[in-house]
Amino acid sequence: MNALILANDEAFRVGRLQDRTFLMLTIIITLGFGVIVWPFFGAILWGVAAAIVFRPLNARLLKFWPGRRNLAAIVTVLTIMALVILPAVLISTFLAQEALALYARVHVTGLDFGQNFQDLRNALPNWVVQILDRLGLANMEGIRTKLSAAIAGGLQDIASRLLNIGQGAFGFIVATVIMLYLTFFFLRDGQILSARIGQAIPLAAHQRDALFEKFVTVIRATIKGSLVVATLQGTIGGVIFWGLGIHAPLLWGVMMGIFSLLPAVGTGIIWVPVAIYLLATGAIWKGVVLAVCGFFVIGMVDNVLRPILVGKDARLPDYVVLISTLGGVQMFGVNGLIIGPVIAAMFLAVWEIFPTASQADHKGEG
């Protein structure tokens, strides 16, 4: 009897040692694989995002072509190229030309804000002028010099970044090709891959399903509710600026699109100062048109389209979106637009599940 017990204990210890060894081996190999694919992390991330967003289209195509998964995935990828990749490349090209031309104009001819500042000062109420005097902002020449230098420096930074992007065009092309290539397989084999990943995760079925659902929901909400709305707001803002004859409308439109991603900031940080400047410098009708379009056209895009594209249940609190987006971009660059909100959403989801799981464990122990 004692020998049997000792044999069972020995087998148990050997089994635990083998399990721990295999777990360590799995972790080491997984980390090694992560190091290998890390240079293409962005391509993988955006490939997953594209597959999730365009999965409904792929499913509809499969209804027309039952069993032809390759064809449906290829047509979906071509659609992504036509709707996303090609417009993004064209906009980037025109933006680079516009920013470089503006920088050359500022660098060669300089900027003269003296008269504009004087007109703006004359249009301000007396109490505002007094405040400016107290703050030491009455020296128009000094302000003109500092602002000219700041704008020239900012444009130089933008120009240098655009040149770096142009020099890294080969890397961008490679990453885009990899992203589209992976998107094809994610679309074609997405259900199989997700099922395998789900089986490998050591969680209860309801916990795993809840986290998967939250992940997919946030990806769709981020792409459809943030990037799509930002693109529309930036496009509309740029068209309005172009129609009003404001210089560099594409650049301003891109800036509005970027700031629209931040709930507490929005596109108003661009068009509101421009509208005030137009009104103060005598361009009354342009300022009025820009203000009206800003409030009732650009602003309404977010209020009307975002609930339609995303739905109320998928939205994160605005303060969470703001912090997670800024933090994500700070840590991961453009990839942070997805990573930040996803991590925030998973954080909230885990802490929603955790109390229920803890209560269930206590009941089981009881």
Q: Would you say residue 80 lies in a domain? A: no
Instruction: Identify whether the C-beta of residue 233 lies closer than 8 Å to the C-beta of residue 267.
Output: yes
Q: What is the pLDDT of residues 34-79, one digit of tens each?
A: 888 888 888 888 898 888 889 889 999 988 888 888 999 999 999 9
Task: Output the pLDDT for position 74.
Answer: 92
Q: Would you say residue 57 lies in a domain? A: no
Q: What is the pLDDT of residues 121-163, one digit of tens each?
A: 565 556 656 666 665 555 555 555 555 555 555 555 555 555 5
pTM of structure: 0.69
Instruction: Identify whether the C-beta of residue 230 lies closer than 8 Å to the C-beta of residue 257.
Output: yes
Q: Would you say residue 290 lies in a domain? A: yes
Q: Which residues of the chain have pLDDT under 50?
A: 113-114, 167, 313
How many domains does one find in the chain? 1
Q: Would you say residue 242 lies in a domain? A: yes
Q: Would you say residue 323 lies in a domain? A: yes
Region at 246 (left for phi over 0; alpha for psi -120 to 50; beta for the rest) = beta
Q: Would you say residue 277 lies in a domain? A: yes
Task: Note down the domain range covering 316.
Answer: 204-355
Task: Output the pLDDT for position 79.
Answer: 93
Q: Would you say residue 105 lies in a domain? A: no
- DSSP assignment of 121-173 equals HHHS-HHHHHHHHHTT---HHHHHHHHHHHHHHHHHHHHHHHHHHHHTHHHHH
Q: Would you say residue 210 lies in a domain? A: yes
